[in-house]
Amino acid sequence: MRTKQMLPALSTLLVCSSMMFAGTVSGKITYTGTPAKQKAIDMSKEPSCAKQHATPVLNETVVTGPNNALDNVVVYVSSGAPDDGQVPSQSITYTQKGCQYIPHVLAMHVDQEFEILNDDQTSHNIHPLPKVNIEWNKSQPPGTPPIKEKYDKAEFIPVKCNIHPWMHGWFVVLKTNHFDVSKDGGDFKLPDLPPGKYTITAWHEDYGTQTADVTITGSETKDVNFTFKAKAY
Amino acid sequence: MGKFFAITIAIIAILSAIPIVMNYWGPPADISTHGPAIDEQMHDTMWEAGVSFLAAQLLLAFFVWQFTGRAKSDKVRNLPGGARGLVIAAFLFVGTEILALGVIGQKAWATVFFDPPGKNALTVQSQAGQFAFYFRYPGPDGKFGALHPDKIDEGNQNFFGLDPENDVDARDDIVTAELAIPINRQVNLLMHAKDVGHSFYVRELRIQQDYVPGLDLAIHFTATKTGQYEIVCTQLCGLGHYNMKAYLTVLSQEDFDKWLKDKAAQ
């Protein structure tokens, strides 16, 4: 009985102590060279989507920002921090709006539940293309309740819509809770890293993968920047 | 009772034939140079079919009227000489009629499918895939880049499978989801399917042609009226078939040049 009462207290103590010495890895993702021009997407065949965009939507394979910033790069701890198996309980959503996937890249933990919403006045048929997880595709006419799904293996999964060929996105399923997706100028942040040696991996859907080793001692913030080589085509 | 049926048959036949023969529900106004020939052919066919239908139904009504109310003991009379002669005559009549329609109509068909396109024709490639049409213009160099199906990457807007990295001809190709063409200029449309069978149907152009996987097909036509028209898929091609459409925009040569320039800039 006593032990049972002690357990929560002990775990709280452990969490607090690890938080006290929690380091952070943050940085910026940039590119060198000239990336391919973002092409405009013609949605004229789907007027209900086309009218949601005042200016043509640009293809999101390579999204850049000022000062050569690169967005939609998934940065995660690929080794050094064993997965604690804690599946985040908060719900994450993947929205089909204006015939686009928002966000373009959705990163999640293995077994984490996510919801797929259709905010459009047209039907979508979401079709992720996993190789190690189970493949499915689901139709979602306007007004359909959210589709709840999860993946039980780590994988980078391209997502397409079987009705609108231009729609494209990614599910990035990771076996770690230390991940971030660079956005708004290529920034990322991996907080709550206990002291230790880590390998940080940055993944971009077109430019590939890069890694960096980093050692955290105490509650410091380490700067790690990644630079990808842009492809002209 | 038999006479009532005879009258009913006659009334239904006449009421159904009137809109067909009188062309009440005709197609929308034609916008192509070959359209009048197709419309004439269609009109002749409907007129002939309408008259034949009416004649057959009225004959049926006449027989019902004439021979109704016979006693069961009455002798059944056969056609003198048997039915064989009549069947052969009907066979020849219908066969000749259909053959004649084909011969008369082949000219309209040939202008779209068989005659080679003129030298000044604008060549546009069109690709049908689940569930959208895409069109490709050769760009300023006038040459289409080669197609590499393995390079098709729709998420990255590479619908045709071009390889601009290694293929110079492909770099200036203009790919659009809308078919814009100049008025009064012949268009040579090259057609291929990416996946399954689809169809290119524009009512106002009087053209309906299937895309057949594995076949490169070509049709040509000249539009004579500016405006926007719907291109729809009329071959059941899967889940999103109902939603597979694009727009044909017929522009003045000046507007077309501007449109092409804008698309190239995108």
- Residues B77-109 pLDDT 10s: 777 778 888 899 989 998 998 898 888 888 888
CATH number for position A118: 2.60.40.420
Buried b (16+ CB within 10 A) or exposed e, B246-255: bbbbbbeeee
Which residues in chain A have their CB less than 8 angstroms from residue B177's CB?
Answer: 42-45
Answer yes or no: do A171 and A93 share one domain.
yes
Question: Looking at CA atoms only, how far is residue B14 from chain A in angstroms?
Answer: 42
Closest Cβ–Cβ partner in B155, B243, B245 for A163: B243
How far is Cα A25 from Cα A202, in angstroms, rounded to an integer? 12
pLDDT in tens, B238-265: 988 998 999 999 999 999 999 999 988 8
User: For A121-139, how does the pLDDT look when each residue is reduced to its tens digit (9 = 90+)?
Assistant: 999 999 999 999 999 999 9
A200 and A190 Cβ atoms separated by less than 8 Å: yes
- Rounded CA-CA distance A142/A149 in Å is 19
Question: DSSP readout, B184-223?
Answer: TSEEEEEEEESSS-EEEEEGGGTEEEEE-TT--EEEEEEB
Pair (A10, A76) in one structural domain: yes
Mean pLDDT to the nearest integer, A194-214: 95
If asked whether residues A153 and A198 sit together in one domain, one would say no
Chain B interface includes A43 (CB < 8 A): yes
Check residue A2 and give its pLDDT. Answer: 53
Nearest CA in chain B to A100: B155
pTM over 0.90: no
Superfamily for B122-265?
Answer: Cupredoxins -  blue copper proteins (2.60.40.420)
Distance CA A163, CA A45 (A): 11
| Structural domain boundaries in chain B | 2-69+82-113, 122-265
User: What's the rounded Cα separation, in Å, for the pair A82 and A79?
Assistant: 7
Q: Do A232 and B165 touch (CB under 8 A)?
A: yes
**A51: burial class by Cβ within 10 Å (0-12, 13-18, 19+)?**
exposed
Within 8 A of A165 by CB-CB distance, chain B residues are: 129-132, 154, 159
The band of A9, judged by pLDDT with boundaries at 50, 70 and 90, is: low
Residues 94..123 of A with a Cβ closer than 8 Å to B: which? 122-123
- Closest residue on chain A to B177 (Cα): A42
The Cα A110–Cα A172 span in angstroms is 9
Pair B234, B203: CB distance under 8 Å = no
Sign (positive or negative) of CA dihedral B137, B127, A50, A204? negative
Chain-chain contact of A45 with B176 (C-beta, under 8 angstroms) = no
What pLDDT, in 10s, does the model give residues B12-51? 999 988 887 777 888 899 999 999 999 988 888 888 888 8
Confidence of residue B110 (pLDDT cuts 50, 70, 90): confident
Query: Is B266 in Cβ contact with A165 (below 8 Å)?
Result: no
Of chain A, the percentage scoring pLDDT greater than 90 comes to 73
* Residues of B in Cβ contact (< 8 Å) with A45: 132-133, 177, 243-247
How do residues A49-72 score in pLDDT, each as one tens digit?
999 999 989 999 999 999 999 999
pLDDT of res. B166:
93
Query: Domain of A194: which CATH number?
Result: 2.60.40.1120
State residue B115's pLDDT score. Answer: 85
Indicate if the pLDDT at residue A3 is higher than 60: no
Give yes or no: residues A14 and A71 share one domain.
yes
Tokens of A10: 């002990």
Instruction: Write the Ramachandran bin of B123: left for phi over 0, alpha for psi from -120 to 50, otherwise beta.
Output: beta
Q: pLDDT value at position A1?
A: 45
Q: What is the pLDDT of residues B139-154, one digit of tens each?
A: 888 999 999 999 999 8
Q: Which residues contact A171 (CB under 8 A, 6 or more apart)?
A: A94, A106, A108, A114, A128, A151, A155, A156, A157, A159
Give the closest of B154, B246, B266 to A165, CB-based. B154
B-chain residues within 8 Å CB-CB of A163?
131, 239-240, 243
CB A173 within 8 A of CB A153: yes
If you average pLDDT over residues B214-220, what whole number do you get? 94
Read off the tokens for B94.
């219908």
User: Is residue A71 located within the same domain as residue A144?
Assistant: no
* Domain range enclosing A53: 1-81+178-233
Mean pLDDT along residues A186-214: 94
Residues A97, A51 within the same domain: no
Q: Which of A59, A61, A163 sits opposite B131 (nearest CB)?
A: A163
Give the distance from residue B98's alpha carbon to the nearest chain A alpha carbon, in angstroms: 39
Percentage of residues of chain A with pLDDT beyond 70? 91
Provide the domain count of chain A. Answer: 2
Q: Which residues pair with A229 in a beta bridge?
A: A32
Q: Do B243 and A46 touch (CB under 8 A)?
A: yes
How far apart are the CA of A233 and the nearest CA of chain B, in angstroms?
6
For residues A116 and A171, state if they share a domain: yes
Q: Tokens for A191?
A: 């907080």
Of A37-41, B125-129, B232-236, the poorest mean pLDDT is in: A37-41
Nearest to B121 by CA among B249, B221, B207: B221
Separation in Å, CA of B113 to nearest CA in chain A: 27
Evaluate whether A183 touches A71 at the Cβ level (below 8 Å): yes
Judging by beta carbons within 10 Å of its beta carbon (0-12, 13-18, 19+), is residue B11 exposed, middle or buried?
Answer: exposed
Q: Does the CA dihedral B7-B13-B19-B22 come out positive or negative?
A: negative
